Amino acid sequence: MKAVSGLSSIASLPDLDTLSLAEQVAQMVVVRASGYLFDHQIQYPDWEPPAATLQHWLQDLGVGGVILLGGSAGELALRSHQLQTWAKIPLLIAADIEEGVGQRFSGATWFPPPMALSAIAHQDPSQAQQYAEQMGSVTAAEALAVGINWVLAPVVDVNNNPDNPVINVRAFGETPHEVSQLATAFIRGAQRYPVLTTAKHFPGHGDTAVDSHLELPVLPHSAERLAEVELPPFAAAIQAGVDGVMSAHLLIPAWDAERPATLSQRILTGELRQQLGFEGLIVTDALVMGAIANRYGAQEAPVMAVEAGADILLMPVAPAEAIQAVCEAVAQGRITPERIRASVERIWQAKLKVFSTPKAQSTDPTNLPDHLAQPTALTTAADIMRQAQFVQGVVPLPPEPSGSTHLLRNLIVIDDSLSCDFLGKQAPAIALPQQQGYQLHLLDRHTSLTAGEDAAGIFSPTLLQIFMRGNPFRGSAGLTPMAEDWFKKLLKTGELQALIIYGSPYLLQQFLPELPPELPCIFSYGQMPAAQAIALDLLWN
């Protein structure tokens, strides 16, 4: 049968010596694609190629890997199977599943963001490490089940700047020690399965206040400070056997005043390869990101990254042109053939790891239900959420007096109601208050209802639920003032019955000083339905 022969054939790698230079360079390229099965479902046409183009890249050019976004876990299992059958050479299939496969692909287990583990570690470090290890293990097992063999995690950045718009709760903590402890536990867990892990973003993206998706941030610290704060988690991850290290699009003047880490030989080769002794895959962060694409161009950036020491060019702006540009740089003597060969040998090592064990060949999509969202995995995720949850005030809520004519209000503030996969009408944040007689009001950046425009004169005890991640002051411009206005208005009128924040501990810190200590206030790192159910259970249990 096709399915089965397709799956078993992906275990065989061709002899490296049979590859042309262009084929070798193509193996260094990982392209972005939609996780959905059909072209008409493509969400980001600028970045995600249609099937015909993708098939050409995999079949004819022999591109080395694909990074996937979009689709459910079930669709992804079919999609990764499809891509492997297209590929000339077995593919690395990667995904940004920092919070488990369920973070990106519905149906699989979705853990709260890593910083939840840091909150637990403050009370019980060994428990937190155990959770981190389970999180790594479940993530790797489920990745394998859907055909992902490259986990782009853990984040080992130290989030010591609360203004950080891009790392934030994605970090395992705010000190090098806790990040090292938890991230290596995650790696240990993942190593139970034949998938690759990746420490990111070298040399550390935790202390920036600029999002490199948009611009090039600068890390203005001395080499000594880097060695003290940023580097230890990378050293620990390398020591723990991490398979890949992803570069950051950051300028670090202490090491290289001109080139961002992704394109800097002094940093990737000098610091990471030589000083830290990393022998695994050096992978760039996405080359389409503004910090690189806008400055260096579609052909020069890949060449510079290879010169710098990268083995994998992630999401180049134009894959075919990138391959050609690198080949030309070899022809011109700017890059040696040995440099290419060394990278491809590392890629071969990685592919041998993921394709040569029996476990790696067990991804028959029809077996999927036996491998994802198993009870122990869901329980671990729920335990982490419950244990990391912050609760203040008197819970449960007192029952509404019988005969009360109050209009109970469930006021939800989210960034974008149209792109919110954790908040359907059956989600606990909506369904549970509804069962209690609360009426839903929804505010997002497309509804301009401000606190002053509320129907006047009616006293409405209000449950305020705010879903906000990242830095609330930069990442979600416009939303925080709206949440803040409502928070203050409801406090003033006495209508604020309870406050639940899902996501940002920094928003909690902003609101907490103004709250009467008896007023129920809950903070959860998670935003998914399970997190909502756990938080709301406290109010009406």
Which residues within the stretch 116-135 sit at the binding site for a second copy (CB under 8 A)?
Answer: none
In the complex, minimum distance from the CB of residue 7 to a second copy, in angstroms, rounded to a whole number = 9
Closest to a second copy by CB, 332 vs 419, is: 419
In the complex, minimum distance from the CB of residue 34 to a second copy, in angstroms, rounded to a whole number = 11
Q: At what angle do helices 125-146 and 73-86 cross, to 10 degrees?
A: 50
Catalytic hit among 157, 256, 285, 454: 285
Q: Give yes or no for residue 72 binding a second copy (CB under 8 A).
A: yes
Q: Give yes or no for residue 481 binding a second copy (CB under 8 A).
A: no
Only one residue has tokens 């199977």, namely 81
Q: Give yes or no for residue 81 binding a second copy (CB under 8 A).
A: yes
Q: At what angle do helices 300-308 and 319-331 cross, to 10 degrees?
A: 60
Q: Give yes or no for residue 50 binding a second copy (CB under 8 A).
A: no
CA distance 199 to 239: 11
285 annotated active-site? yes
In the complex, minimum distance from the CB of residue 430 to a second copy, in angstroms, rounded to a whole number = 7
Q: Give yes or no for residue 416 binding a second copy (CB under 8 A).
A: yes
Closest to a second copy by CB, 252 vs 468, is: 468
Give the pair of three-digit tokens for residue 268. Answer: 């990737």
In the complex, minimum distance from the CB of residue 493 to a second copy, in angstroms, rounded to a whole number = 17
Only one residue has tokens 């997190």, namely 531
Asked whether 314 and 67 are in contact (CB, 8 A), the reply is yes
**Of 300, 321, 364, 383, which one interacts with a second copy (CB under 8 A)?**
364
Region of 9-17, 208-216, 384-392, 412-420 interacting with a second copy (CB under 8 A): 412-420
Which residues within the stretch 143-172 sit at the binding site for a second copy (CB under 8 A)?
Answer: none
Q: Give yes or no for residue 366 binding a second copy (CB under 8 A).
A: yes
Q: Give yes or no for residue 475 binding a second copy (CB under 8 A).
A: no
SS3 42: coil
Q: Give yes or no for residue 140 binding a second copy (CB under 8 A).
A: no
Region of 159-167, 186-194, 244-252, 358-366 interacting with a second copy (CB under 8 A): 358-366
Q: Give yes or no for residue 398 binding a second copy (CB under 8 A).
A: no
Residue 373: what are its φ and ψ, rounded to 5°?
45, 45
**Of 16, 320, 395, 442, which one interacts with a second copy (CB under 8 A)?**
442
The secondary structure of 171-210 as a DSSP string is SS-SSHHHHHHHHHHHHHHHTTSS-B-EEEEET--TT-SS
Region of 14-22, 234-242, 281-289, 368-376 interacting with a second copy (CB under 8 A): 368-376
In the complex, minimum distance from the CB of residue 427 to a second copy, in angstroms, rounded to a whole number = 8
CA distance 232 to 489: 46
Q: Give yes or no for residue 456 binding a second copy (CB under 8 A).
A: no
CA distance 323 to 483: 48
13 CB contacts (<8 Å, ≥6 apart)?
A: 89, 90, 348, 351, 352, 355
In the complex, minimum distance from the CB of residue 47 to a second copy, in angstroms, rounded to a whole number = 12
Region of 180-188, 243-251, 419-427, 512-520 interacting with a second copy (CB under 8 A): 419-427
CA distance 490 to 451: 9
CA distance 179 to 159: 9
In the complex, minimum distance from the CB of residue 338 to a second copy, in angstroms, rounded to a whole number = 40
Tell me the CA distances in angstroms from 68 to 11, 65, 136, 381, one per residue in order.
21, 10, 19, 23
Encoded one letter per residue, x for contact with a second copy by CB under 8 A and - for no contact, window 420-439 reads: x--xxxxx--x---------
Q: Give yes or no for residue 448 binding a second copy (CB under 8 A).
A: yes
The type of residue at 288 is V
In the complex, minimum distance from the CB of residue 429 to a second copy, in angstroms, rounded to a whole number = 10
Residues paired with 500 in a beta bridge: 465, 522
Tell me the CA distances in angstroms from 27 to 330, 360, 469, one per residue in order.
15, 20, 36
Centre a 10 Å sphere on the Cβ of residue 295 and count the other Cβ atoms it contains.
14
Q: Closest Cα partner for 31 from 57, 7, 50?
A: 57
Say if residue 472 is preceded by a cis peptide, omega within 30 of 0.
no
Closest to a second copy by CB, 258 vs 455, is: 455
**Of 24, 82, 343, 504, which one interacts with a second copy (CB under 8 A)?**
82
249 annotated active-site? no
Tell me the CA distances in angstroms from 252 to 171, 172, 334, one per residue in order.
20, 22, 24
In the complex, minimum distance from the CB of residue 479 to a second copy, in angstroms, rounded to a whole number = 14
| Number of residues binding to a second copy, judged by CB under 8 A | 59
Closest to a second copy by CB, 320 vs 440, is: 440
CA distance 219 to 376: 41
Q: Closest Cα partner for 315 from 249, 216, 230?
A: 249
Encoded one letter per residue, x for contact with a second copy by CB under 8 A and - for no contact, window 10-39 reads: --------------------------xxxx
**Of 227, 298, 318, 440, which one interacts with a second copy (CB under 8 A)?**
440
In the complex, minimum distance from the CB of residue 121 to a second copy, in angstroms, rounded to a whole number = 27
Tell me the CA distances in angstroms from 159 to 170, 171, 216, 298, 515, one per residue in order.
9, 6, 18, 31, 26
Q: Give yes or no for residue 73 binding a second copy (CB under 8 A).
A: yes
**Of 9, 12, 20, 43, which one interacts with a second copy (CB under 8 A)?**
43
Centre a 10 Å sphere on the Cβ of residue 345 and count the other Cβ atoms it contains.
13
**Of 69, 314, 413, 443, which one interacts with a second copy (CB under 8 A)?**
443
In the complex, minimum distance from the CB of residue 109 to a second copy, in angstroms, rounded to a whole number = 9
Give the pair of three-digit tokens for residue 463. Answer: 């449950």
Which residues are known to be catalytic? 213, 285
- Site residues, a second copy (CB under 8 A): 1-4, 6, 36-41, 43-44, 51, 71-75, 77-79, 81-82, 106-107, 364-369, 372-373, 378, 416-420, 423-427, 430, 440-444, 446-449, 453, 455, 529-530
